[in-house]
């Protein structure tokens, strides 16, 4: 491998000749050989966006330092970073300095060296030009918020919307199909299958709004606070202008956090937003469990719905097919719930003017978003879209249910109705037969009162 010599305040460092990173990135790469978890690509792309916004703001506020010549090549380099074209030049792992300083410098070095290549001369310096008016302490939390908000709004919400749309279709297809309800895993009064599906849809719609409402906190940026929140070395108005530039670049609303001392040391907005992700995970767990219970069988379970058969389910039992999409979704739900603990713990570790658990905080947040996007989409395409009601089995189970006796309460009272149910269960009778035997009403009157389709 060929190397070149890069220099920083600590001296010279050998760097692979075909890489754009510089001395500080190389030092981090050599000093933190921990795990294999790379800094998320969403953070890298967010750095491309925020460095571009900062350069544009600096051009207006510090034109003597951010010259038109520098700006031109820096914008191109930033665009390449934001588009993912230079991802191979960001090798650092999550387990580094807790402020994310080395990843900020990774971005500064890559953008500067790429810009210099474009300029054909050593025009831009990582610290003096790319990092102008900034500190790692305000850029990394800004990248965290930008990456989190864009991932949620551009990818997760559309995936949830597609699942909601399929739920609405299933509701319409199953309008009027009545089945036995179940509470405590025991038979309950009847419910329309469309009503049961509407419960699933309602969960998704509510958590969707909760997630979107949490984005208000993610739109607030630390950029402009520099090292400790005072804004040292940033020109007046830089924070507001950079946020406006970032909004224009992303077509999303970003604003400067009015309290930079809060923005640098607290990660409560990410905790709040991840709590909404956990709520979605909890609902996904419930929906997936309902689906696999209802599809259980095919002969010895409830068997009230069928789901797509995607792959063989056993290496020893021929013909077995399992609810694998439900299992994948529930495993993702468990991981998201675990990530919520990590995000909360990381946020609790702010000391004085800075939180130094930021990389692990955003790593877990973005993993949760990524997993939910993939699992929700897979569950939708390979399971929910193919759900079909087994109407015969639903009707059979409905009319076997002892809880239809609830319709008799207004006529014979709760205690007498309970006697009917217990006699029917003990002697294998129908509710009608038990009611007639106990002398509470005629069979004809029973038929008039106990009509499952009117109980929903």
Q: What is the DSSP string of 370-406?
A: HHHHHHHHHHHHHTGGG-EE-HHHHHHHHHH-GGGGG
Is 57 within 8 Å of 242 (Cβ atoms)? yes
Q: Quote the Cα angle for 104-271-254, to 5°.
A: 55
Interatomic CA distance for residues 174 and 115, integer angstroms: 60
**Catalytic entry in 314, 315, 378, 401:** 314
399 tagged catalytic: no
Is 92 within 8 Å of 39 (Cβ atoms)? yes
Three-class SS of residue 356?
A: coil
From 422, 416, 406, select the one nearest 441 (Cα to Cα): 416
Q: What is the DSSP string of 20-49?
A: ---HHHHHHHHH----S-BPPHHHHHHHHH
Interatomic CA distance for residues 372 and 156, integer angstroms: 7
314 tagged catalytic: yes
**Backbone dihedral angles phi then psi of residue 182, each to the nearest 5 degrees:** -145, 130
What is the token pair recorded at 244? 């406006």
Interatomic CA distance for residues 155 and 143, integer angstroms: 17
Q: Which residues pair with 8 in a beta bridge?
A: 11
Interatomic CA distance for residues 402 and 421, integer angstroms: 6
What is the token pair recorded at 355? 């939180």
Quote the DSSP letter at residue 67.
-
C-alpha separations of 429 from 98, 230, 422, 433, 440 in Å: 69, 79, 10, 6, 15
Is 163 within 8 Å of 170 (Cβ atoms)? no
**Catalytic entry in 45, 125, 135, 184:** 184
Q: Which residues pair with 350 in a beta bridge?
A: 355
C-alpha separations of 376 from 157, 205, 292, 362, 383 in Å: 10, 14, 15, 21, 10
Is 278 within 8 Å of 340 (Cβ atoms)? yes
Q: In the block, which residue shows the tokens 């210099």?
A: 116
Interatomic CA distance for residues 432 and 150, integer angstroms: 60
Instruction: Give me the active site residues, please.
Output: 184, 314
């Amino acid at each position: 491998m060929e190397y070149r010599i890069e220099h920083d305040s600590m001296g010279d460092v050998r760097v692979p000749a075909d890489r754009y990173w510089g001395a500080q990135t190389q030092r981090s790469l050599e000093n933190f050989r921990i795990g294999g978890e790379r800094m998320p690509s969403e953070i890298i792309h967010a750095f491309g966006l925020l460095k571009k916004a900062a350069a544009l703001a600096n051009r207006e506020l510090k034109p003597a330092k951010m010259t038109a010549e520098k700006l031109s090549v820096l914008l191109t380099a930033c665009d390449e970073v934001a588009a993912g074209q230079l991802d191979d030049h960001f090798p650092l792992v999550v387990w580094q300095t807790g402020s994310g300083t080395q990843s900020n410098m990774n971005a500064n070095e890559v953008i500067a060296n790429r810009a210099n290549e474009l300029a054909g001369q050593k025009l831009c310096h990582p610290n003096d030009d790319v990092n102008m008016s900034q500190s790692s302490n305000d850029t990394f939390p800004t990248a965290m918020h930008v990456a989190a908000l864009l991932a949620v709004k551009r990818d997760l919400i559309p995936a949830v919307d597609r699942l909601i749309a399929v739920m609405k279709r299933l509701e319409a297809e199953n309008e009027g199909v009545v089945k036995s309800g179940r509470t405590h895993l025991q038979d309950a009064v009847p419910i329309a299958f469309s009503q049961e599906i509407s419960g699933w849809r309602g969960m998704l719609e509510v958590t969707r709004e909760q997630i979107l409402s949490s984005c208000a906190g993610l739109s607030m940026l630390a950029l402009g606070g520099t090292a400790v929140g005072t804004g040292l070395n940033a020109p007046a108005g830089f924070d507001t202008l950079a946020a406006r530039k970032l909004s224009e670049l992303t077509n999303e609303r970003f604003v400067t956090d009015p309290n930079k001392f809060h923005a640098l040391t607290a990660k409560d907005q990410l905790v709040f937003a991840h709590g909404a992700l956990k709520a979605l995970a909890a609902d996904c767990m419930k929906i997936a469990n309902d689906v696999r219970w209802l599809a259980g069988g095919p002969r010895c379970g409830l068997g009230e719905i069928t789901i797509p058969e995607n792959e063989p389910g056993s290496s020893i039992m021929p013909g077995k097919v399992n609810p694998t999409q439900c299992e994948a979704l529930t495993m993702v739900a468990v991981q998201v719930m675990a990530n919520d603990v990590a995000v909360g713990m990381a946020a609790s570790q702010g000391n004085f003017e800075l939180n130094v658990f930021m990389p692990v905080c955003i790593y877990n947040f973005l993993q949760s978003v990524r997993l939910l996007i993939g699992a929700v989409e897979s569950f939708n395409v390979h399971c929910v879209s193919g759900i079909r009601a087994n109407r015969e089995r639903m009707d059979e189970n409905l009319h076997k249910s002892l809880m239809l006796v609830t319709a008799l309460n207004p006529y014979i009272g709760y205690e007498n109705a309970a006697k009917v149910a217990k006699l029917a269960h003990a002697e294998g009778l129908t509710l009608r037969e038990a009611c007639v035997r106990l002398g509470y009403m005629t069979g004809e009157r029973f038929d008039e009162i106990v009509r499952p389709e009117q109980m929903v």
